[in-house]
Amino acid sequence: MTRLARGPALALALAVLVTGCAFVPREGSPRDESAGFTVPALFLAEDAPPRLVCGHRGDFFVNLIRGSSNTLESFEGALRVGADLVEVDVRITADRIPVIAHDGGVETRSVAAWLARGERLLELHDVLIWACGRTVLLLDVKSRDVAAVATAVRGADAVDRVLFLAGGPGEYDRIREAGADLWVVARARKPDDVTGWLGRGDVRIVAVHGNPGWMDSDLIDRVHAAGKKVWLNAWDATWHQELFGGESLAIELFERGADIIHSNVPADAARARDAR
């Protein structure tokens, strides 16, 4: 379960109140940050970057040893090594507050009850404030209560700074019930799923997320022909290849036609992106 002291988040919240968006330049950016980090700018604009890197739970492998993935420290680390986007896991507490957590258990108590037990949860709202002007978030919502997440996103004026991962038709339907304005990355778990996602004709599905083991050149061409981005998960290639292969795996995936690489080692993927 994720723990975090609130000091930095509160400071960022005050900055938002004063400036409208807390912008903090980051190291190693591959883009002109004056253009802003929004879904339309990264995925739909004519000058959208051709290659992007998404850090899985931030800088996952580096922070796995520290036990601090899915934390601001891990998210910050991903940006520092050149990630463009950050994936975070979201669950809902008993009082319907979206918090950052991969494993179950947070649902059993309210935020206040967890705090009384000495567990300080990282709330999605705080991450949305932190991300403003710095990155786009991919939300993997591990709850059926997508409406609570959408409420938090709208409360932070972050609809254009967030992507929702739809793992299947049921998750997609819950996202759409929460709002037709939400941006979606559609996860295909097998080749036939690609046809299903493209057949929906939803302009707010901006990318199809797939496994490089079966996402062949024909499927990649079909996704591009539909005006969507190809989002390949390097972890799905084989975890040991990603961990020990350096940037060679990421180079291969970009050469195959990936627009976004989902990586546990964003530093390697960022070097591959910049090498092309």
Task: Give the Cα separation of 148 and 66 in Å (integer).
Answer: 30
Asked if pLDDT for residue 18 goes beyond 60, the answer is no
Asked if pLDDT for residue 107 goes beyond 80, the answer is yes
Average pLDDT, stretch 1-14? 39
pLDDT of 8? 38
With b for 16 or more beta-carbon neighbours within 10 A and e for fewer, the 197-217 pattern comes to bbeeebebbbbbbbbbeebee
Q: What is the CA radius of gyration of the chain?
A: 18
Name the pTM for this structure: 0.86
Average pLDDT, stretch 50-59? 92
Question: Between 98 and 1, whose confidence is greater?
Answer: 98
pLDDT of 28? 44
- Which of 21-25, 111-115, 118-122, 192-196 is predicted most confidently? 192-196
pLDDT band, residue 16 (cuts 50/70/90): very low
> Among 63-72, 73-82, 135-144, which is the least confidently predicted range?
63-72
Which pLDDT tens digit goes with each residue over 167-208?
A: 999 999 999 999 999 999 999 999 999 999 999 999 999 999
pLDDT of 5? 36
pLDDT band, residue 32 (cuts 50/70/90): very low
Task: Give the Cα separation of 22 and 262 in Å (integer).
Answer: 26
Residues 6+ apart with CB under 8 A from 59: 69, 74, 77, 78, 80, 81, 83, 265, 266, 267
pLDDT of 143? 95
Contact 173, 195 (CB under 8 A): no
Of the chain, the percentage scoring pLDDT greater than 90 comes to 69
Average pLDDT score over the chain:
85
- What end-to-end distance do the CA atoms of the chain give, in Å? 38
pLDDT of 21? 58
What CATH superfamily is the domain 7-275? Phosphatidylinositol (PI) phosphodiesterase (3.20.20.190)
pLDDT of 87? 95
Asked if pLDDT for residue 243 goes beyond 90, the answer is no
